[in-house]
């Protein structure tokens, strides 16, 4: 399938980082809204898929981060969904 675009502009969906300590991320990151492994990007005809794939024990340094999420970005509709 030929590419339909040569480039795109990122929308900022999330800000990541630790909620505390020297590696603290943005001020709005708390222990209640952390997740891990935002490292997947897939594109299809309907939009871009951004996913997390953490498989940690949800304890210790990874407590509260054992969630796997997937976002679908639909550029033409100017909206996004968390699936």
* pLDDT tens per residue across all 83 residues of the chain: 566 767 767 666 666 666 777 777 777 777 777 666 666 666 666 666 666 666 666 677 767 665 556 666 666 544 545 44
What is the spatial distance between Cα 51 and Cα 54, in angstroms, rounded to a whole number?
Answer: 10
Residue 2 β-bridge partners = none
Is the pTM higher than 0.85? The answer reads no
CB-side neighbour CA atoms (13 Å) of 40: 14
């Amino acid at each position: 399938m030929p590419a339909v675009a040569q480039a795109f502009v990122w929308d900022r969906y999330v800000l990541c980082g630790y909620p505390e300590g020297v590696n603290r991320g943005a001020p709005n990151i708390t222990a209640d809204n952390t997740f891990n492994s935002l490292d997947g990007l897939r594109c299809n005809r309907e939009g871009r898929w951004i996913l997390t794939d953490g498989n940690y024990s949800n304890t210790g340094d990874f407590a509260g981060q054992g969630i796997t999420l997937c976002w679908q970005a639909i550029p033409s509709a100017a909206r996004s969904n968390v699936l």
